[in-house]
Amino acid sequence: MVFTTLLTQKLGITVPVVQGGMQWVGIPQMAAAVSNAGGLGILTALTQPTPDDLRKAIQQTRKLTDKPFGVNITMLPTIVPPDHAAYARAAVEEGVRIFETAGSNPAHIVKYLKDNGCIVLHKCTAIRHAQSAAQMGVDFLSIDGFECAGHPGEDDIPGIVLLARSANELKIPYIASGGFADGRGLAAALALGAQGINIATRFMATVEAPIHQNVKETMVKATERDTVLIFRTLHNTARVFKNSVSLEVVAIENRGNAKFEDVQHLVTGVRGRRVYETGDVNAGIWFVSMVLGLINDIPTCQELLDRIVSEAEATIDRISALRAPKSRL
């Protein structure tokens, strides 16, 4: 079975799977591996120190794949905000025409991208935000459930409810994000009206993921209970791996009246990057979803996507076989 959806048709891919933008992980070797396997690989713009570095990453990715790939631009509150527009401009000038946006209001970035003929997928954690993004002219919405890694929003609505609500409320196509790792998840997302799925955490535990082997093996051993929510009291909730650092952040927040400055030294990006580089899973915070409970091995991206397709086919066949034969009366 070949899955043909609005997503595969619009993006020119063969498997309806988008690799989520992941800080420090969405680099050329990762994006190219996913694209070569039939999905949509994504470069994470802000992993690159400057827009010029993003240009070089795009050029390097093109040497590794002749398949479509995109660029993620995530806009989150930071002490020193990056020049998101400059990153978008660099990618467009390098010929990228597929973008994933996420975070704060992306209206100015979306306008620029659409003015330049780009396809935009915007990630949302609430129906009201999705409706606002649709009015901005994005092409697809990525509906991110509470199970997800990173920032799940403040509503705590799980994916199965958000996806069903999306089918009822949204007028533009959407994909499912948060907690997806296998073909059963893809089949379920399609049944709920999605045009494909977004996978991030599962791709971290692949051969091509640019992170230390010890981190990957830790993910295989972990379960769905090995995540924790931080920044809850700061109204900027994030789901990360449960380790000594994240538990210390939670303890500081639980004391009451915590400010970001009280935990800043624990949650720096430099410390998070050290996790991936050294394999010390307690070196900093690192984003993972509850999908940890579904990760049992470390395949190549090709093996993973082939497995997802075959599992989805088998799931759909199994469900179809449940139908009672029509009466001939």
For the chain, what percentages of helix, strand and coil (3-state, to nearest 5) are there?
Answer: 45, 15, 40
pLDDT tens-digit profile of 312-323?
A: 999 999 999 998
Q: Looking at the structure, do residues 12 and 140 belong to the same domain, yes or no?
A: yes
Answer whether residue 192 is part of any domain: yes
φ, ψ (nearest 5 deg) of residue 77: -60, 125
In the predicted structure, residue 326 carries a pLDDT above the cut 80: no
Q: Looking at the structure, do residues 247 and 167 belong to the same domain, yes or no?
A: no
Answer whether residue 287 is part of any domain: no
Q: Looking at the structure, do residues 121 and 78 belong to the same domain, yes or no?
A: yes
Q: Looking at the structure, do residues 257 and 127 belong to the same domain, yes or no?
A: no
Answer whether residue 241 is part of any domain: yes
What percent of the chain lies above the pLDDT cut of 90? 94
pLDDT value at residue 318: 96
In the predicted structure, residue 164 carries a pLDDT above the cut 90: yes
Calculate the average pLDDT of the chain: 96
Answer whether residue 255 is part of any domain: yes
For residues 211-233, average pLDDT: 98
**Cα 30–chain centre separation:** 13
Whichever domain contains 97, its CATH number is 3.20.20.70
Q: Looking at the structure, do residues 198 and 240 belong to the same domain, yes or no?
A: no
Total Cβ atoms within 10 A of residue 324: 5
Element housing 277 (H / E): helix 269-278
Place of tokens 């079975």: 1
E strands in the chain: 17-19, 41-44, 69-75, 98-103, 119-124, 140-144, 174-177, 197-199, 227-230, 238-241
pLDDT value at residue 328: 63
Q: Looking at the structure, do residues 71 and 102 belong to the same domain, yes or no?
A: yes
Place of tokens 């309806």: 16
Range of 232's domain?
A: 227-278
Q: Looking at the structure, do residues 253 and 309 belong to the same domain, yes or no?
A: no
Pick the closest to residue 165 from 141, 184, 182 (CA basis).
141
pLDDT tens-digit profile of 6-40?
A: 999 999 999 999 999 999 999 999 999 999 999 99
DSSP 23: T
Q: Looking at the structure, do residues 243 and 192 belong to the same domain, yes or no?
A: no
pLDDT value at residue 77: 72
Number of domains in the chain: 2
pLDDT value at residue 329: 56
Q: How many angstroms separate the Cα of 273 from the Cα of each of 7, 24, 88? A: 32, 7, 23
Q: Looking at the structure, do residues 302 and 273 belong to the same domain, yes or no?
A: no
In this prediction, residue 104 has a pLDDT band, given cuts at 50, 70 and 90, of confident
